[in-house]
Structure 1
Amino acid sequence: MREGCVPWPASTAATYRAQGYWNDDVLGRRYTSEPGRETRTAVITPTRRLTYGQVDRAADRLAAGLRARGLDAGDRVVVHLPNDVETVVLCVALFRLGALPVFALPAHRTSEITHLVNTAEAVAYVCADRVLDCDYRVIAQEVRERTGSLREIYVVGDAGPFTALAEVDADPVELPAPRPEDVALFLLSGGTSGPPKLIPRTHADYGYQLRESARLCGFGPGTRYLCALPLGHNFALACPGVLGTLQAGGTAVLAPAPTPESCFPLVESAGVTATSLVPPLVPLWLDAAEWTEHDLGSLELLQVGGSRLDPATACEVPEGLGCTLQQVYGMAEGLLNFTRLDDPEDVVFHTQGRPLSPADEIRVIREDGREAGPGEEGELFTRGPYTLRGYYRAEERNLVQFTEEGYYRTGDVVKRTAGGDFEVVGRTNDVVNRGGEKVPAQEVEEHLLADPRIRQAAVVALPHPHMGEQTCACVVARDEDRPPVLREVQAALRGRGIAAYKLPDRLVVLPGLPVTGVGKVDKKALRARLGG
């Protein structure tokens, strides 16, 4: 499925293949084709265990069942599931069928899922029945009413008016293998300008990413990787994540939530050796480790990424959790940077690592357009064997986000040390990095302006000691005598179906918004006024 996707130039693709970055492997290949895997444990949850043989057989039957119901290669499927066995099996089944998962995040609600279905022209949506206080079947009904392409809605658990995923079953059939350079899946952008854009990842480029990151991180048959973050997030999926762990013959341990209460028992019972967290979770884990009765002694590696980890917290990890810290700076669009396992403490505590691949091409461009030298700030531009050349069906955005030479403009402001490691300084784009969750200011502003009490709105990032940044909504009220309050605005936004992490943390009502000389809202002045 290549319509709407921007390919690598033919000569570049040939070079990546000739140099071994790309090969003929495809995602979802049979795990038990390798000796000794049939009875080895592949997946562990708090209540279930599956061997590699069981994963293979379940995925084969599910792929055949989906095909019998009309799903075909190239069809898009929005996957909106928690960390559980069904999510892993479904991913493998879709890869084998050649259908393309579009990975939604658990926090997404009607607004985001509708956007994903419409943009991808998805023919199927897969969700849980309920998770905590959210009934995803209600979301499914609302999405079906707002979209035109959906043919099937599958539910894990009590399906209600829809089809139970457990009932989709058929005897395995021979399926044509996808080509390595075909699109395998869609990830989501951070949504720095409006709703998230779709990131097409191919079997070749994503396969290289997970193989090489698994090698760099030392993953192998003895690895027990705890997937604490949402599995549909690039970090937990393939950096090296669950897919890299299974590729290497290890065991993926799936936690329902990234809290110490959910994860520490699994670390002990499953003998977890590695996991990944975003920075706001690290202090929580460090505090809980001081009083927990669970044995965390098996943990060898903690990856931290999604936003910058402050050096003071980084310094506490080796002693507080008894493991090696690895900082990871990357993006679903491609480029990954890692501190290495043998790096000195100064590098690990104060930088966000260096590129994964020798074929990663990097430019750091200052505001004046010149290349930045060591220690100078600039925007990071990149291209390489696992970095996309364009978002899906986003021609206008691609003209802005990519240079004529194919470099991706990341929007990240970085400094590069003399040793080649990056220090992430901030963002050029209008986005709030709320504990690793990217909150697009423009999208939230549009929802705020739908509130009849609000005449003007501007969303800015303000510093926060634990989240890194918090979302502040600055608004001008239509009725000065009855200004909106935070809880009312949050309730109205929930009613519009946006994800909870996009709700403003703070609301400031102003008589007017400052503007620049060309009439645009001056967000720099707003942040300065509010102490940002």
Structure 2
Amino acid sequence: MNASSAGIKLLSVYGSTESSPHAVVNLDDPLSRFMHTDGYAAAGVEIKVVDDARKTLPPGCEGEEASRGPNVFMGYFDEPEFIARALDEEGWYYSGDLCRMDEAGYIKITGRKKDIIVRGGENISSREVEYILLQHPKIHDACVVAMPDERLGERSCAYVVLKAPHHSLSLEEVVAFFSRKRVAKYKYPEHIVVIEKLPRTTSGKIQNFLLRKDIMQRLTQDVCEEIE
């Protein structure tokens, strides 16, 4: 039984700990709004989409979601640097989430700013690469993070969990798979790490920061071994 056949309406609600749910779909909205948006600003709340300089973008452009209203937190305890990054003097909270806003003010969350890998000036969406990886017959779960690179700034590193009974997956196999999918070469993963499971929070969210920390440690260890 699905929700609609039971006479139940499910609403999309968007928010965070710092800016409690502040975007919501109206009960009277058409199904397309329920399916393809994360709602519009609740009463008393303002939402805007901004670029890297925090200038407001026009409808349809992807940028960072920002909100202002009584729902926004006052700041992090004893963390002035984090507060300065998240809040401005006018009370806007910058979420770090990427989104687009349509002409009617409805937003659609498209990713995280930290999930964008900048490789030699080219932007790579981690989510897009993960979506392709999950189509590989050997891969059960995947997460793509940025790893530092002296020449290009960043390269993509894929952490993968394999399906049984597979125990190994080479970078060459992944590259060949992406080639068959006709993916642009700059989007190919350039490092593969096979692990038993991805680190997640109790709510199931992947802890990307732990993977970024892990690849940093792996790269540092490799450099040390080369020096020795």
Q: Where on the TM-score scale, by shorter chain, does this alignment land: which range? A: 0.5 to 0.7
Residue 350 (structure 1) aligned with residue 36 (structure 2): yes
Q: Report the CA distance between 1:338 and its aligned residue.
A: 0.9
Residue 341 (structure 1) aligned with residue 13 (structure 2): no
Distance, in Å, in 1 between the alignment partners of 2:34 and 2:205 is 31
With over 3 angstroms needed to count, the CA separation of the structure-2 counterparts of 1:332 and 1:499, relative to structure 1, is closer
- Residue of structure 2 equivalent to 1:421: 106
Q: Report the CA distance between 1:472 and its aligned residue.
A: 4.9
Task: Give the alignment partner of residue 328 of structure 1, picking from 13, 19, 22.
Answer: 13
Q: Is the 8 A contact 1:389 1:407 kept in 2?
A: no
Distance, in Å, in 1 between the alignment partners of 2:111 and 2:142 is 14
Q: How does 1:76-225 map to 2 (within 5 A)?
A: none
Q: Report the CA distance between 1:339 and its aligned residue.
A: 0.4
Q: Secondary structure, in 3 states, of the residue corresponding to 1:371?
A: coil
Q: Secondary structure, in 3 states, of the residue corresponding to 2:99?
A: strand
- Residue of structure 2 equivalent to 1:471: 143
Q: Secondary structure, in 3 states, of the residue corresponding to 1:415?
A: strand
- Residue of structure 1 equivalent to 2:88: 403
Q: Deviations over 1:101-144 (max 9, x none)?
A: xxxxxxxxxxxxxxxxxxxxxxxxxxxxxxxxxxxxxxxxxxxx
- Residue of structure 2 equivalent to 1:486: 195
Distance, in Å, in 2 between the alignment partners of 1:398 and 1:409 is 10
The structure with the larger Rg is 1
Gaps of 5+ in 2: 117-125, 136-140, 146-156, 159-192, 220-228
Distance, in Å, in 2 between the alignment partners of 1:333 and 1:380 is 13
Q: How does 1:304-323 map to 2 (within 5 A)?
A: 317-319=3-5, 321-323=6-8
Q: Secondary structure, in 3 states, of the residue corresponding to 1:398?
A: helix
Distance, in Å, in 2 between the alignment partners of 1:422 and 1:347 is 10
With over 3 angstroms needed to count, the CA separation of the structure-2 counterparts of 1:368 and 1:386, relative to structure 1, is closer
Distance, in Å, in 2 between the alignment partners of 1:430 and 1:355 is 25
Which TM-score applies when normalising by structure 2?
0.52
- Residue of structure 2 equivalent to 1:386: 71
Report the AA paired with residue 97 of structure 2: D
Q: Secondary structure, in 3 states, of the residue corresponding to 2:11?
A: strand
Q: Is the 8 A contact 1:402 1:408 kept in 2?
A: yes
Distance, in Å, in 1 between the alignment partners of 2:203 and 2:66 is 31
Q: Deviations over 1:331-354 (max 9, x none)?
A: 121242110111112212211111
With over 3 angstroms needed to count, the CA separation of the structure-2 counterparts of 1:503 and 1:356, relative to structure 1, is closer
Report the AA paired with residue 348 of structure 1: F
Distance, in Å, in 2 between the alignment partners of 1:500 and 1:330 is 15
Report the AA paired with residue 195 of structure 2: L
Which TM-score applies when normalising by structure 1?
0.24
Q: Secondary structure, in 3 states, of the residue corresponding to 1:318?
A: coil
Distance, in Å, in 2 between the alignment partners of 1:400 and 1:348 is 32
Distance, in Å, in 2 between the alignment partners of 1:425 and 1:340 is 20
Q: Report the CA distance between 1:370 and its aligned residue.
A: 3.0
Q: Secondary structure, in 3 states, of the residue corresponding to 1:324?
A: coil
Q: Report the CA distance between 1:387 and its aligned residue.
A: 0.8
For this pair of structures, how many residues does the alignment match? 150
Q: Is the 8 A contact 1:401 1:409 kept in 2?
A: yes
The structure with the greater share of residues assigned to helix is 1
With over 3 angstroms needed to count, the CA separation of the structure-2 counterparts of 1:318 and 1:386, relative to structure 1, is same
Residue 360 (structure 1) aligned with residue 69 (structure 2): no
With over 3 angstroms needed to count, the CA separation of the structure-2 counterparts of 1:408 and 1:470, relative to structure 1, is farther
Gaps of 5+ in 1: 1-288, 290-315, 432-459, 476-483, 514-532
Q: Report the CA distance between 1:428 and its aligned residue.
A: 0.7
